[in-house]
Amino acid sequence: MNSTPGGSGSSTAAADSHAVVRIVEEEPNLMVSLFWNGSRMNLNRLKDEPVSKLLPRIKINVEKALNKGKPKPKKQNPKKQKTENAPHTDGATQADTAPPAPEPPALEVCLLSLSGESVPDEWKCEEAFRKASSLQIGSKSLEIIVNPPTLLDFSVNCHALVDHPLAVHAQTEFATAEDFTFEWWEGEPPSVSGSATGNSSGSSSSGDGSSGAKSSSSPPSSSRLLHTGVVFSPPADSVGKEIFIKAFHPRLPEFGSSKVVGKVREGPLRGWREERMKKYVEMKARARGSLSSLEDQSDRMFSICSFNILAPVYARTPVAVQDMYPYATAADLDARYRRALLGREMQQIDADILCLQECSKAFYEEYLTALYPESSFYRLFCKKVSRSNEGCALVVRREAFELLEERTRLFRRDLFADPAFLPIVKEIRAKWPHFMGSVLPHMSTVIQLAALRHRKTGRLVVVGNSHFFFHPYARHIRTLQALLMAREVKRLAEAHTTRGDGGSGDEGGAAMILCGDLNSHPLTAPVHLLKQGQVPSTHSDWELGLRFRWSRETTEEGEEGGEASLEDVAVAEEEEAETGQEDPAKRAAEERELQAGEVGKEGAAHGEGASGTSGADWETAMGPEDLSEGPGVNVSIAPLELQCVYEAVGESLPFTNYVNGFNATLDWIFTDKRNTKVLGVLGVVEESQILPGLPSATYGSDHLSIAALLELKDKQSPIM
């Protein structure tokens, strides 16, 4: 049905009722914005300018607005005027018979205080606006609002597809996006006005003039209001029709603005993805239904998802387009198109804990934060220490969990920061002399950690999320990364168990979860460590430590790197693309913060720091008699006992990554056996269903999402 005109709240009655003023401490000017006679006025004035100079300027602009559209008086021809003034037969002239035009009343402009008195002319503008309650223009009184909620700009960086979530990315001032109303309309957009004190709609403003923009009017009666909110999925009956957004603050609707999103298109054909999702949703419903009579058990359930979403920087390189995804069209790889597909996937999985890898900063800021509003979700982003501008993201449902603490660990730093690693590091120095100086400094891997309290049970849940180093000849490095990740999850759990954040030591321990794109096949040492709890120094994967050398052009022995080459080229291209676009000092500061700041910031909780072990201890060489047998080191995560969630329910993932010439299971969710039970998982996919590979027109990443429904077991003794 068609909307009622004015239904958006931008009625004429609401206009001309406010004068908004932007005053920011670090800026020398202030901005006054108001509407008069349908015209938008923006006046940019010095804060210390006296009121006596400002008010005449407002008066001039108001008079211009009042005279807008009126015919200008014509200049009279002197000869014609003389003829017109000639005497008539009755002795009177024509001019004498025409009544004189009435003079318009003088327009008074003043600022009024709360007591109704005029603000003194000598007051500075900043002081006057902070103390005044209204701007009086003739008989009209405009309420003054200083630093109102302001929508500077907004955008929708995503293709409009049926049943795929569109999300508004809003840039605001003195408010959050959730404070504004976003209306999604189908049809012809109304005129726009721009932001309250900014200029987002393209209207001009000057130091002393009116912008000339029109107040945002109600959409035409032929338009249809589809939805109100930050996130919207277009319905099937909107295909081929134009969508636009009308945005405003409920208190200041006259300062709203509108933007066209584009025409709605059909979504991709339904197939294996929808069937997979349907079965997962049904499994969750059955599990919750079967436990509904057992209230205590149903209250212990929560879901988790891990998903590598393919950062745009890696999808657009020549290696990616020509070698990895030759079957994918340019439209399939388009970031705005893939964003819609990824949003649908995450929205339908509807996880209580969502762990993402290869999440670009733009995806996080422009899309993810809108899909998951701060009022309902905790949102954490951890950027890799590289120039690829992507990293890990963690989203946690507030209704299910309370966030107790978050931590970030940098592999190349924290291998040194933990005194417990001293014997391992010393042995690595002895066996792989080149590793510490020429390989480790290049590692950009970060580990994202979060300690959560499950609200219904009070139990502690600790999550680790990471994207391990990609190189096919770096299984030894990934084994060390898995070791660090497991120990840091266990350390965080112990810290909060000791504090009583999930039950005291007598009552039970924490549920621990490790997940992410571990870039590790099932039979490799990193997965063996997490499944079996230990890897001996004689494991064949340690032999790579002797041969591995850092190279940006080729992998070990000059062979083509496959997936490895992807990030090498992507990072190199990103570095070139960012030249002159990013402040080097800012980038250096970010890296210093990760390298040093985290240890200092979290030293008390972490229990150690780089200063915890002296340089002499690290440098002390190990004798041959101290070295373990074989090319590697003995590592263990005991007494932590982990299980792969898929294997726990009898499922085997044939692959999670499928590209041209390569497929493997690289993505994992591990939970500790003592405190969690796996109720079900997001199903496996057959190879025939996704050929020739991912991403595609129906799927937005080269990795499949993996997910599980978990139940907290009765409290067990904590792992110490």
Residue 419: band (very low, low, confident or very high) from pLDDT cuts 50, 70, 90: confident
Residue 543: the pLDDT is 95
Mean pLDDT for 597-609 is: 34
Residue 617: the pLDDT is 56
**Predicted confidence (pLDDT) at residue 450 exceeds the cutoff of 60:** yes
In a domain, 625, yes or no: yes
Query: Could you tell me the strand order of the sheet in which 301-308 lies?
Result: 377-383, 390-397, 353-360, 301-308, 706-712, 676-681
List of residues 6+ apart from 644 with CB closer than 8 A? 531, 668, 669, 670
Are 534 and 671 in a shared domain? yes
What is the three-class DSSP state of 369?
Answer: helix
In a domain, 94, yes or no: no
Q: What is the mean pLDDT of the chain?
A: 82
Pick the range with the lowest mean pLDDT from 139-143, 310-314, 529-533, 581-585.
581-585
Are 663 and 618 in a shared domain? yes
In a domain, 78, yes or no: no
Pick the range with the lowest mean pLDDT from 47-61, 67-81, 432-446, 659-673.
67-81
Look at 609 and 628; give whichever has higher pLDDT.
628
Return the beta strands (E) in 621-681 as ranges. 635-636, 642-644, 657-659, 662-664, 667-672, 676-681
Residue 216: the pLDDT is 52
**Predicted confidence (pLDDT) at residue 49 exceeds the cutoff of 80:** yes
CATH number at residue 187: 2.60.40.2700
Give the helix/strand (H/E) hosting 112.
Answer: strand 109-112
Are 133 and 248 in a shared domain? yes
**Predicted confidence (pLDDT) at residue 261 exceeds the cutoff of 50:** yes
Domain stop point among 267, 292, 311: 267
**Predicted confidence (pLDDT) at residue 503 exceeds the cutoff of 80:** no
Mean pLDDT for 257-263 is: 94
User: What is the four-CA torsion angle of 7, 8, 9, 13, rounded to 10 degrees?
Assistant: -60
Are 282 and 369 in a shared domain? yes
Mean pLDDT for 114-129 is: 94
Residue 191: the pLDDT is 57
Residue 92: band (very low, low, confident or very high) from pLDDT cuts 50, 70, 90: low
Domain stop point among 267, 297, 329: 267
Residue 457: the pLDDT is 94
Question: CA 576 → CA 362, 384, 385, 387, 656, distances in Å?
Answer: 18, 18, 17, 10, 31
Look at 620 and 332; give whichever has higher pLDDT.
332
Mean pLDDT for 137-147 is: 93
In a domain, 717, yes or no: no
Domain of 702, in residue numbers: 272-712
Return the beta strands (E) in 468-525 as ranges. 511-517
The residues that bridge with 258 in the sheet, in sequence order, are: 246
Are 17 and 128 in a shared domain? yes
In a domain, 96, yes or no: no
Are 185 and 297 in a shared domain? no
Residue 220: the pLDDT is 72
Residue 696: band (very low, low, confident or very high) from pLDDT cuts 50, 70, 90: very high
Residue 312: band (very low, low, confident or very high) from pLDDT cuts 50, 70, 90: very high
Are 471 and 589 in a shared domain? yes
Residue 68: the pLDDT is 74
User: What is the four-CA torsion angle of 611, 616, 617, 620, rounded to 10 degrees?
Assistant: 150
Residue 654: the pLDDT is 96
Residue 647: the pLDDT is 97
Number of domains in the chain: 2
**Predicted confidence (pLDDT) at residue 511 exceeds the cutoff of 80:** yes
Pick the range with the lowest mean pLDDT from 75-79, 128-132, 201-205.
201-205
Residue 416: the pLDDT is 78
Burial 443-475 (b: 16+ CB within 10 A, else e): bbbbbbbbbbbbebbebbbbbbbbbbbbbbbbb
pLDDT tens digit sequence for 185-239:
999 877 544 444 443 333 334 344 333 333 456 677 789 999 999 999 999 999 9
Residue 219: the pLDDT is 73
Residue 221: the pLDDT is 74
Highest mean pLDDT, choosing among 23-37, 191-205, 704-718? 23-37
In a domain, 122, yes or no: yes
List of residues 6+ apart from 179 with CB closer than 8 A? 149, 172, 249
Are 386 and 513 in a shared domain? yes
Residue 551: the pLDDT is 77
Are 657 and 518 in a shared domain? yes
Residue 84: the pLDDT is 54
Are 175 and 318 in a shared domain? no
User: Are 382 and 573 in contact, with CB atoms under 8 Å apart?
Assistant: no
Show the tokens assigned to 343.
Answer: 């949003």
Are 346 and 374 in a shared domain? yes
List of residues 6+ apart from 170 with CB closer than 8 A? 151, 153, 154, 177, 180, 182, 230, 247, 370
User: Are 217 and 10 in contact, with CB atoms under 8 Å apart?
Assistant: yes
Are 252 and 397 in a shared domain? no
Domain stop point among 214, 244, 267: 267
Look at 77 and 603; give whichever has higher pLDDT.
77
DSSP state string for 535-578? E-TT-GGGGHHHH----SS--GGG---THHHHHHHHHHHHHHHH
Residue 238: the pLDDT is 95
Mean pLDDT for 136-146 is: 93
Q: What's the predicted TM-score (pTM) here?
A: 0.82
Residue 78: band (very low, low, confident or very high) from pLDDT cuts 50, 70, 90: low
CATH number at residue 491: 3.60.10.10
In a domain, 691, yes or no: yes
Residue 446: the pLDDT is 97
Look at 94 and 33; give whichever has higher pLDDT.
33
In a domain, 89, yes or no: no
